[in-house]
């Protein structure tokens, strides 16, 4: 993806992000159900991949995905920093790092959209159990977008893995730390640092990414086939 294509992609994602967040924020009930759903999904992911988190090699990468990509935390501050920083980022980030950031933003936007649809099928603003979640998941549909979510995890991971062992990338990220925080981009800077460090520590991410892909894809197929459990 060249830099012009990256810019066009980001423009589209920003519009989708504004619409998805606006839809949720305008409906307090939906916002509460979305938060409860995100908490359930974060716990489910942690349980599904507990063995990977138990590995010293993979722990930081799993924590990065749970906290920075899938977590129930409010990431709106970081998202706004991404939007404000785009023109600067496209000038100094290596193409692979920029693409990883674009896909991370796409994953977050897609998650907000799918969570809004799924939360809309929940009746209570409390964390659902597995059966309630499964019913809402199927009712929300959008199997192609669910599959895209899983694809994006692999794409982000592969891009981060491709830059994790390039010393010049690590140096550029470290040198940006002070200026980024001073300019109000601290959350974005911390996000980039955590992703880079997690994948550098892993020293090869193919098995890690293949394991996540297989588990998440299998669960997606089971849920759409009528399963009422997520284990």
Calculate the CA 38 to chain-centre distance: 12
pLDDT at position 104 is 81
Residue 144 in domain: yes
Is residue 182 within 8 A of residue 82, CB to CB? The reply is: no
Mean pLDDT of 69-83: 64
Q: Residue 158, class by beta-carbon neighbours within 10 Å (0-12 exposed, 13-18 middle, 19+ buried)? A: middle
Residue 231 in domain: no
The whole domain housing 201 covers: 3-224
Residues 6+ apart with CB under 8 A from 44: 133, 230
Does the pLDDT at position 89 exceed 70? no
pLDDT at position 128 is 95
Structure tokens at 166: 């390039």
Most confident of 67-71, 159-163, 172-176: 159-163
Does the pLDDT at position 202 exceed 80? yes
Choose the weakest-confidence range: 56-70, 107-121, 164-178. Answer: 164-178
| Number of structural domains in the chain | 1
Mean pLDDT of 32-41: 91
Residue 84 in domain: yes
CA angle 31, 148, 53 (to 5 degrees): 75
Residue 107 in domain: yes
Residue 67 in domain: yes
Residue 40 in domain: yes
Confidence band for 172, pLDDT divided at 50, 70 and 90: confident
Residue 143 in domain: yes
Confidence band for 190, pLDDT divided at 50, 70 and 90: confident
Angstrom distance (rounded) from CA 57 to CA 155: 20
Residue 230 in domain: no
């Amino acid at each position: 993806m060249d830099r012009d294509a990256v810019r066009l992609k980001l423009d589209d994602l920003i519009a989708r992000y504004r619409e998805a967040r606006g839809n949720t924020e305008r409906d307090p009930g939906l916002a509460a159900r979305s938060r409860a759903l995100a908490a359930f999904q974060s716990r489910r992911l942690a349980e599904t991949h507990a063995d990977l988190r138990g590995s010293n090699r993979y722990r930081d990468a799993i924590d990065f995905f749970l906290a920075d990509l899938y977590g129930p935390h409010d990431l709106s501050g970081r998202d706004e920093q991404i939007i404000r920083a785009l023109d600067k980022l496209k000038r100094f980030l290596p193409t692979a790092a920029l693409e990883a950031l674009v896909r991370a933003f796409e994953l977050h936007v897609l998650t907000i959209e799918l969570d809004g649809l799924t939360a809309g099928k929940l009746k209570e603003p409390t964390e659902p159990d597995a059966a309630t979640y499964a019913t809402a998941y199927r009712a929300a549909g959008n199997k192609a977008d669910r599959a895209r979510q899983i694809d994006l995890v692999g794409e982000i991971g592969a891009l981060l893995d491709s830059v994790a062992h390039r010393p010049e990338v690590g140096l550029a990220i470290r040198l940006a730390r002070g200026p980024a925080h001073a300019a109000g981009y601290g959350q974005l800077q911390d996000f980039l640092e955590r992703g880079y460090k997690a994948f550098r520590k892993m020293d090869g991410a193919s098995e890690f990414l293949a394991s996540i892909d297989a588990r998440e894809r299998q669960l997606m197929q089971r849920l759409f086939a009528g399963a009422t459990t997520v284990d």
